[in-house]
A and B are shown apart, each in its own frame.
Chain A
Amino acid sequence: MEEKQTYTISIYSENNIGLLNRISGIFLKRHINIESLNVSGSEIENVSRFVIVVNITESWARRIVGQIEKQIEVIKAYYHTDDETIFQETALFKIKSDLLFDQRQIQNIIKESHSEIVTVSRDFFVIAKTGRRYEIEALYDELQPYGIMQFTRSGRISVSKERMDISTMLKEFQLIN
């Protein structure tokens, strides 16, 4: 029995309306929960990059990447294990301002966790932390006793250790043209 593990699926695509719907549908019809999703620009102009984190078996990852690559606007898709990627998430914590001054321990937590203060206002201040999921969760656990007014965490962003040769593929297309 093949074991499930965390895979990061990276998709290079055209920036078209409706593609997110097509891609999410591929996971939906297989009952696969998307743990994290991030869409942004990529190193190539006008080419979008999806980073999707799922917990599945490798054979499913391979088949899903095949189905994703079938979509007309998808240029190329890959799947990687955690060991094959460098990845980060970012979290924002909103906390009452008076705690920053009344609870010296909070300042220590900020310093030791290598997070940064994004803004301070009369009523609240915001801490940003970028790192692995466990680092963000550890910070959450430390801050939680003091009261967190709001918390949000981004989807995973990731780059692969191996080369992803999209630019060459696109150049070949331009040459044909």
Chain B
Amino acid sequence: METKTLTQKQEKKETTMRISGAEAVIHCLLAEGVDLVYGYPGGAIMPIYDELYKFQDKLHHVLTRHEQGATHAAQGYARVSGKVGVAMATSGPGATNLVTGIADAQIDSTPMVCITGQVASHLLGSDAFQETDIVGISTPVTKWNHQITSASEIPEVMAKAFYIARSGRPGPVLIDITKNAQFEEFDFSYEKCTGIRSYNSKPEIEKSKVEQAADLINKAKKPFIVWGQGIILGQAEEELKQLIEKAGIPAASTLLGLSALDSDHEFNTGMVGMHGNYGPNVLTNECDVLIALGMRFDDRVTGDLSTYAKQAKVVHFEIDPAEIDKNVKTEVAILGNVKESLQRVLPLIDNNKHEAWHGEFKKRYAIEFDEVIKNDLHPEKEGLTMGEVIDQINKASEHKAVIVTDVGQHQMIACRYAKFNKTKSNITSGGLGTMGFALPAAIGAKMGDPEREVVAVIGDGGYQMTIQELGTIFQTGAAVKIVVLNNDFLGMVRQWQQLFFDRRYASTELVNPDFVKIAEGYHIKAKRVSKREDLQGAVQEMMASEEAYFLEVKVEKEDNVFPMIPTGSSVSDVRLS
């Protein structure tokens, strides 16, 4: 490997030991502080699993029921703990089964290292049993990847993998190790990577940009903040709060930024985006300065770019240079770690209130409450709504739970109505929109912070994509609370069919199994609720359980999620019904 890396200088004493490549992998993981890996064994990774067996007192392995589950669990673990998640699989189908989770981690900037076994080097390219070019396959969906064919490469490549995964804008890295490299013995020593010459993980913050940004913010009459996951990844929650409070700026979160600021904070106006709140969406097109903090102007946030915030001067705080001016042209872009950038800007910010402007958000909230929220949270119709289930979870958890959501209507409802009072509490698949994400991600989230209550909110469609991970819950005893909001439909697709395809419900109706019996088959406590009077008690019982618990809630079959910005429409054309 030609890449020039910097390594942590250590006392130069003879610390080498002659070990196999497989054992070296374990030592590398331990040196990087890893104590938990998710995975699934197979022929090409057996030497590493054999070493895992020997090191099980130091390095815990969780056997998921599918390799995809391993990646999502590693993601959930990483998002809650802030550490790098690790997943392992064998070659061929094991490796390809990782791809969905890797792609999900890439688009949602989740630090993850995946290790795959590979056929022996002399068989590479021969279409050997369970051989796939996983490096080629995973190239577009990894931050970096590399194939190791000799044991001596292992320490440097592993050190580099962890450095790349966790630094800068985090992301997934895949390391493919041939079987001969796992068996081969070599003199092992390990030095952590602290820099790569072709990779600037911490761009220098320009003083002039900081001053320009502060000037624009101070002069703004109608400033508006949209923050993203960069705040959480950069640990800038306190700086975000200080900016909002000092300058009196109304703020809204992207889907992945949720929980960085207390849901009930007076300046928190909710969520932007396709199913975000009415006020922040509409007023994006009325603010005079739009301050984007650690977010990437995803198309689900901006709607039609040609009409998005055209009247506003945009100030963008971002660590990834490729995101600057990618979708939205900025007036001032501050490249760098958002925490450090905000720390530089804050002393230059004037105290302000913007009361009238904030009042505009309150007015829009009142409209949204009357037309949408009231019906979602306090319905008068007989059928249960998804919103009232989330409301009951809020009450029972006192806003303290980690809420892990799958993808679909329930996800949008949960992200709209779940209340958070602690950061890293909202775990969802944003950019890729991976159905099947939540159940394994919730397992990882629980292991990432065992003290916290973890509630997975899942639709009946996504639940069945990774339902086998109930086996992992049973085997590990992970006390995950699972709520399936069952409307017997692929609800979001059905909603689109209703609104844009003349109610032609093509292949969206599901004939579902008895979910309670399935959970019970895995020895997980389970209950089904279909009446309003039973909901509160069932949620409380679930939250009080010290073990895993499955709750199925039969909800209204054809409820829709509003507000909604139809694809390609302007954010100010948000529909309330």
Contact = CB atoms under 8 A, between A and B. Distances in A.
Contact of A14 (B2, B6, B195, B326): B2
A18 B321 contact: no
Interface residues of A, number: 26
Contacts of B6: 173, 176-177
Contacts of B198: 13-14, 72-75
Nearest to B325: A62
A69 B201 CA distance: 12
A18 B135 contact: yes
Nearest to A18: B135
Given A66-B321, A66-B322, A14 B139 contact: no
A40 interface: no
Given A14-B3, A18-B145, A46-B2, A70 B322 contact: yes
Interface in B311-338: 320-322, 324-326
A9 B146 CA distance: 25
A42 interface: no
B136 interface: yes
B4 interface: yes
B contact patch SS = mixed
A63 interface: yes
Contacts of A66: 321-322, 324, 326
A22 interface: yes
A130 interface: no
Interface string B68-107: 0000000000000000000000000000000000000000
B191 to A, nearest CB: 12
Contacts of B196: 72
Contacts of A46: 2
Q: Among the interface residues B1, B146, B147, B198, which one has the most CB atoms of the partner chain A within 10 A?
A: B198
A170 B322 contact: no
Nearest to B146: A18
Nearest to A21: B139
A62 B4 CA distance: 27
Contacts of B143: 72
B144 interface: yes
A16 interface: yes
Interface string A121-134: 00000000000000
Contacts of A67: 322
A15 interface: yes
B166 to A, nearest CB: 13
Interface residues of B, number: 26
Nearest to B136: A21
Interface string B134-161: 0110011001111100000000000000
Contacts of A29: 140
Contact of B4 (A21, A70, A74, A173): A173
B199 interface: yes
Nearest to A68: B322
Nearest to A46: B2
A169 to B, nearest CB: 8
A15 B199 CA distance: 14
A175 to B, nearest CB: 11
B197 interface: yes
A16 B136 contact: no
A72 B199 contact: yes
Interface string B1-25: 1111010000000000000000000
A22 B139 contact: yes
Interface string A67-102: 101101111000000000000000000000000000
Contacts of A69: 321-322
Interface in A1-59: 13-18, 21-22, 25, 29, 46
B164 interface: yes
Contacts of A25: 139-140
Interface in A161-177: 170, 173-174, 176-177
Nearest to A63: B326
Contacts of B326: 63, 66
Contact of A173 (B1, B135, B197, B320): B197
Nearest to B199: A72
Given A14-B198, A177-B6, A70 B1 contact: no
B169 to A, nearest CB: 8
Given A25-B140, A72-B164, A176 B195 contact: yes
A34 B95 CA distance: 30
Nearest to A25: B140
A67 B195 CA distance: 20
Interface in B260-310: none
Contacts of B1: 16
A14 B196 CA distance: 11
A69 B235 CA distance: 25
Contacts of B3: 14, 16, 72-73
Interface of B: 1-4, 6, 135-136, 139-140, 143-147, 164, 195-199, 320-322, 324-326
12 contacts: A14-B2, A14-B3, A16-B3, A18-B136, A46-B2, A63-B322, A63-B326, A66-B321, A69-B321, A72-B144, A173-B6, A173-B197
